[in-house]
Structure formats: C-alpha cells, structure tokens
Amino acid sequence: DIQMTQSPSSLSASVGDRVTITCRASQSIRNYLNWYQQKPGKAPKFLIYAASSLQSGVPSRFSGSGSGTDFTLTISSLQPEDFATYYCQQSYSTPLTFGGGTKVEIK
C-alpha cells in the first residue's frame, strides 16, 4: 500500500497568512493526488484533483503543486472559513489511501 504522510500535523496561523501544507507519498504517484478540507462535524469537501487542478467552485486562493512523491497545498491568504483540517489522498493505485491530516488553527 502507498503511505501518505502529511506535515505538519497542525499549525497556527492568522487571517491573511500564506499557509503551506506538505504531503509525501511512499513511492511515486505521478500527479494522482487529491486534497480535501474538513470542518468539525462535517463531511470532507473536495478541493483539488490531479495535484493542481481546482475543483469547480473552490476559491482561487487555494492551489496545489507537486508530482512524484512530494506535494503541497497552499492557501495564499488565509480566510476565517479556511480554518479546518486538510487531507491529501493518493489515487495512483488501490487501495486508495489518505494522509493523516493537517489541522489549521487560529493563532
């Protein structure tokens, strides 16, 4: 199985900050990497697919990059509604696997 490792596991940031979350795969997954946002008590929301393609309706302050084993999710200017937990997920091979999550908290 492909293991997905996210860092950091949590971070504190202020509104307006630029935030970067890293996801590393245990082997090359080319660009088969997706990102989700989850708020407490809610189902995850699909943000980015194929490492860098923004899902329809997702604000442009979100961006993704990377290929192979190393990927990043960047929020260019953190907004109050962005405080949440973010998960990466590889779709290169089955079984599909998620990272452990990164919680973005208010500083």
Partner 1 sequence: QVTLKESGPVLVKPTETLTLTCTVSGFSLSNTRMGVSWIRQPPGKALEWLAHIFSNDEKSFSTSLKSRLTISKDTSKSQVVLTMTNMDPVDTATYYCARIIGVAAADYWGHGTLVTVSS
Secondary structure string (H, E, C) spanning the chain:
CCCEEEECCEEEECCCCCEEEEEEECCCCCCCEEEEEECCCCCCEEEEECCCEECCCCCCCEEEEEECCEEEEEECCCCHHHCCEEEEEECCCCCCEECCCEEEEEC
Q: Which is nearer to partner 1, 37 or 82 (CB)?
A: 37
Minimum gap (Å) between residue 5 Cβ and partner 1: 11
Q: Which is nearer to partner 1, 45 or 61 (CB)?
A: 45
Site residues, partner 1 (CB under 8 A) = 1, 32, 34, 36, 38, 43-46, 49-50, 55, 87, 89, 91, 94-101
Q: Which is nearer to partner 1, 68 or 100 (CB)?
A: 100
The Cα diameter of the chain in Å comes to 38
Minimum gap (Å) between residue 1 Cβ and partner 1: 5
Minimum gap (Å) between residue 77 Cβ and partner 1: 25
